[in-house]
Amino acid sequence: MRKHVITTAAIAALALLAVSGCSSRTAATSGTEAAAGFAKDATIGVALPSKTSENWVLAGGLFTDGLKAAGFKGDVQYAGASTTVKDQQDQISAMVTKGAKVIIIGAADGGQLSTQVKAAHDAGAVVIAYDRLILNTPNVDSYVAYDNFKVGSLQGQALLDGLKAKKATGPYNIELFSGSSDDANSKVFFDGAMSVLQPKITDGTLVVGSGQKDIKQTATAAWKSENAQSRMDALLTSTYGAKSIDGVLSPNDTLARAIITSVKAAGKPIPVVTGQDSEAESVKSIMAGEQYSTINKDTRLLVTQAITMVKDLQAGQKAPSNDTKSYNNGVKIVPAFLLPPVIVTKLNAAAAYANDPLLSPLTK
């Protein structure tokens, strides 16, 4: 996975896009399979995973409102917490039966949707992977997401910066956490972070106390906070009886807070802990000086971009993409439209959330 360079101009263009809600092809360089166009009030399916983080909760409401405002019949569904994969498969099949013209999918398990997306294609629907890539199928037309590799490299850099701010020189004791192995993003986040951290592990600046550096060892099943908390409890007992722990790479905010809970329960000082998603509780924690960093992946912009793609398809145009190299799903390279993530610490939180009515008050 290569790194993506997204300019300030692109950020400004996206902000404009979000405000105006208009269909823009400014950043488009190539597109996906052309659609013939379809009725302006067509059914658009949106299949989201279970609500493992606040961004998914926000996305559902934004899709419902945004698709309605654009004149479409939105059908927004979440997979349940227990039978997640089966729920989502059934929901997508039902969308196909209802004649959805576009199906937007935030995959519960990106490797287990081949049958459903094939049925969608056979019925003439366009399939857009939202936030998480759909793997091992030719039947996914587009991907819309924040730049996942960049998310990881920003997390890695934040961890290093936070450590240096506390103590000018290493070695620093750290531990690594990654996301759920059924989410294609988890590896990309981890690879991005390790692109920054691995050279510092190799030169001895960073020491992974437990020795657990492999993505299989660091994974957090189903992105569940209790799984991160129990792994952190075990690491503290096995490795940090006498030693201090200086930093923890956490792939998102839910897990960051679980890691901090574990450290507090063990009576240890809170290490530098990274995150992602700008969840309200984590923004509060950052302002209180506990969690060190998060990532702003403004859900409003991502949903707006996905709806822009739907509008373009409705008009018979190709869905825009700005990256046609990075996202190989095992069968094809899926044309992607990537948005730029923003690192947030206590230092820039007020500026980063200035236009966010929910988060801005938390930074005052």
With contact defined as beta carbons under 8 Å apart, do 198 and 157 qualify?
A: no
Contact with ligand BGC (CB under 6 A) among 276, 282, 296, 305 = 276
Can residue 53 be called a binding residue for ligand BGC (CB under 6 A)? Answer: yes
Can residue 52 be called a binding residue for ligand BGC (CB under 6 A)? Answer: yes
State the DSSP string of 101-153. SEEEE--SSTTS-HHHHHHHHHTT-EEEEESSPPPS-S---EEEEE-HHHHHH
Q: How many CA atoms lie within 13 A of 272 on its CB side?
A: 23
With contact defined as beta carbons under 8 Å apart, do 220 and 228 qualify?
A: yes
With contact defined as beta carbons under 8 Å apart, do 127 and 141 qualify?
A: yes
Distance CA 49, CA 277 (A): 16
Can residue 252 be called a binding residue for ligand BGC (CB under 6 A)? Answer: yes
- Minimum distance from residue 341 beta carbon to ligand BGC (Å): 9
Alpha helix positions (H), 167-247: 184-202, 215-218, 225-239
Contact stretch for ligand BGC (CB under 6 A) within 31-39, 51-59, 72-80, 82-90: 51-59
- Minimum distance from residue 58 beta carbon to ligand BGC (Å): 11
Can residue 131 be called a binding residue for ligand BGC (CB under 6 A)? Answer: yes
Closest CA to 233 of 209, 263, 275, 268: 263
Can residue 223 be called a binding residue for ligand BGC (CB under 6 A)? Answer: yes
Contact stretch for ligand BGC (CB under 6 A) within 47-55, 79-87, 121-129, 312-320: 47-55
- Minimum distance from residue 52 beta carbon to ligand BGC (Å): 4
The pair phi, psi for residue 271, each rounded to 5°, is: -75, 180
Question: Binding mask 57-96 vs ligand BGC (x if CB under 6 A, - otherwise)?
Answer: ----------------------------------------
Question: Which spans of this chain sit near ligand BGC (rule: CB under 6 A)?
Answer: 52-53, 55, 131-132, 179, 183, 185, 223, 252, 276-277
